[in-house]
Amino acid sequence: MLYLLSMRKRVITVHDKMQRGYRYLCTEPIGKHFDPAFRPDLTPKDMLALGVFGGKYMTDCRAEFPASWFTRAKLSPEKHEPTLNYFGVDASQSLSVWRAKGWIHPDDPRGWFQWYCRYYMGRRMPEEDARQIKRWKQMVRHIAQIKHACPTGDLHCHPRQRQALLHWAYDSRRL
């Protein structure tokens, strides 16, 4: 549900399996004014269309985001289905692992991708944004490993790392 406060500020209220009545303020236009250190290759819509997180990630929270994100999304409402991932492999850790490692912020109980979707929508939380952008930047080590180990364009080389990079909005198809 979306409430218009002004041309730039919007309040989004979330009602899904993991959050009831959570509200956040979007102060930036959708897809604009990112931190200069954060330059993802893929939008959330791109990621969903390519196939990420075994299709399970966004099955109950579609009302929160633009309908266009889901027109070509590869989703699996029943269960995590790695064959829906672009590289057809499982490159995910369970949510319980993420919780145990302290990677989950209470405002984003689904983790990094939920943070990214909300950041893309225009929500800004300076401390959490800085933490997540730092985590995103740390994924470049996988890019370096693929470039070192794989011939350019060989998408069959290191498919789990390539899929993990897609999960973090890096377009590993271009490596």
CA 160, CA 146: separation in Å to the nearest integer?
11
Domain that holds residue 51: 34-174
In a domain? residue 75: yes
Measured distance CA(154)–CA(133) in Å, rounded: 28
Give the least confident one: 101-105, 144-148, 159-163.
101-105
What is the number of structural domains in the chain?
A: 1
The answer on pLDDT for 3 being more than 60 is no
What average pLDDT does this structure show over 9-24?
94
Residue 112 lies in a domain: yes
Residue 24 inside a domain? The answer is no
> Does residue 158 lie in a domain region?
yes
Query: What global pTM score does this model have?
Result: 0.92
* Whole-number average pLDDT of the chain: 92
25 in any annotated domain: no
Residue-wise pLDDT tens digits, 120-159: 999 999 999 999 999 999 999 999 999 999 999 899 999 9
Domain assignment present for residue 12? The answer is: no
- The pLDDT value given to residue 7: 55
- 15 occurs within a structural domain: no
CA torsion 72→78→79→82, rounded to 10°?
-30
Question: How far apart, in whole angstroms, are the C-alpha atoms of residue 146 and residue 140?
Answer: 10
More confident residue, 58 or 131: 131
What gap in Å lies between CA 29 and CA 173, rounded to an integer?
Answer: 28
149 within domain boundaries? yes
Distance of CA 171 to the CA centre of its chain: 13
Cβ proximity of 120 and 43 under 8 Å: yes
Dihedral angle at the C-alpha atoms of 82, 87, 91, 94, nearest 10 degrees? Answer: -30
pLDDT category, 1, cuts 50, 70, 90?
A: very low
CA 47 from centre of chain: 7
